[in-house]
Amino acid sequence: MAHLTRSFEIKARDFSRAGEVSIEVQGILKTIGFEADCVRRASICAYESEMNVVMHGGDGELSLTVDPENILLEVEDHGPGIENIELALQEGYSTATIQYREMGFGAGMGLPNIKKNADFFEIHSQKGQGVHLKVGFKVDGDNG
Amino acid sequence: MKLADIRDTLHAQVIVGNDKLDLSVKAGTGSDLMSDMLTGPTSGAVLLTGLCNVQVVRTSVVAGVVAVVLVRGKQPAPEMVTQARKHGLPLLSTPFTMFSACGRLFDKGLRGVEEKASRS
Ligand SMILES: Nc1ncnc2c1ncn2[C@@H]1O[C@H](COP(=O)(O)OP(=O)(O)O)[C@@H](O)[C@H]1O
Ligand SMILES: [Mg+2]
């Protein structure tokens, strides 16, 4: 199976496109022929992190890297960053506004959900410097 | 259960997906919380929701939901219809409330996603 790297721009507060990058990633992973559960977990992580950039972050980028054994997602934005990562990772912690809650988001389950679904999880951030998230998925067997 | 059965059971209007009435729906889920949709098993399910915005469509696609039914007769904005069409996601609207719509489908034999999870 081919190695593949693709990058996508994510615009902060752009709800006309919020989630489209993740749906494109889902399509690519399905087309390659990865197992359904793996595609689902990776797509959910992509979507939760894309929505976080749109709602809480600044303009950023999602990169997808695929090789025969791994799917890697890197999501980086240049927004306000997260001051207390440990707190942000707790289930239920959210700074989401009423507007986001009315859209069905802001339950504070995004980052914990990403961590749960990923086989590899790394997050770096400093106040004022954006967020850099890396999540990986082990792919078993002979896809593509 | 077929999408056509869901339409009939819920007296629903099919806004997108008249070409997909033969689609098989494995389970049902009812939620207004998109975050919940992403944390539970929803693959192959129909989503009943009172939430009526574009993000419902995108969340459903990511979560593997196969059709969306808006309850209480809600009508989607044109942008939501456009997105549902673009992503090939059937979109229906039923006059029933969330409780009644879920009950009617359950009565016809459709079960929740957790039962689908425990069966498999
Ligand atoms: N990219 C980001 N930039 C700034 N803050 C973020 C970012 N991602 C997450 N956060 C912070 O972490 C919190 C928890 O995120 P999450 O678990 O996804 O829950 P939710 O998005 O529902 O608030 C957010 O409310 C926000 O304060
Ligand atoms: Mg989030």
- From the CA of A127, the nearest ligand is 1
B49 → chain A, closest CA residue: A104
Q: Which of A13, A56, A89, A98 to mutate to test the pocket of ligand 1 (most atoms within 8 A of CB)?
A: A56
Spell out, as residue ranges, where chain B has pLDDT lower than 70. Answer: 115-120
Q: How close A129 gets to chain B, by Cα (Å)?
A: 26
Instruction: Supply the pLDDT for residue B114.
Output: 82
Fold that domain A4-143 belongs to in CATH = Heat Shock Protein 90 (3.30.565)
Q: Is the CB of A53 under 6 A from ligand 1?
A: yes
Considering only CB atoms, A40 lies closest to which of B43, B55, B87, namely B43
Distance CA A124, CA A106 (A): 21
Query: At residue A19, what is the residue type?
Result: G
Structure tokens at B82: 């456009």
Length of chain B: 120
Where in chain A are the domains? 4-143
Provide φ and ψ at B39, rounded to 5°.
-105, -10
User: Could you confirm whether domain B3-107 is CATH 3.40.1390.20?
Assistant: yes
pLDDT 10s digits, A2-25: 799 999 999 999 999 999 999 999
pTM: 0.95
> Exposed, middle or buried by CB within 10 Å (0-12, 13-18, 19+), for B101?
buried
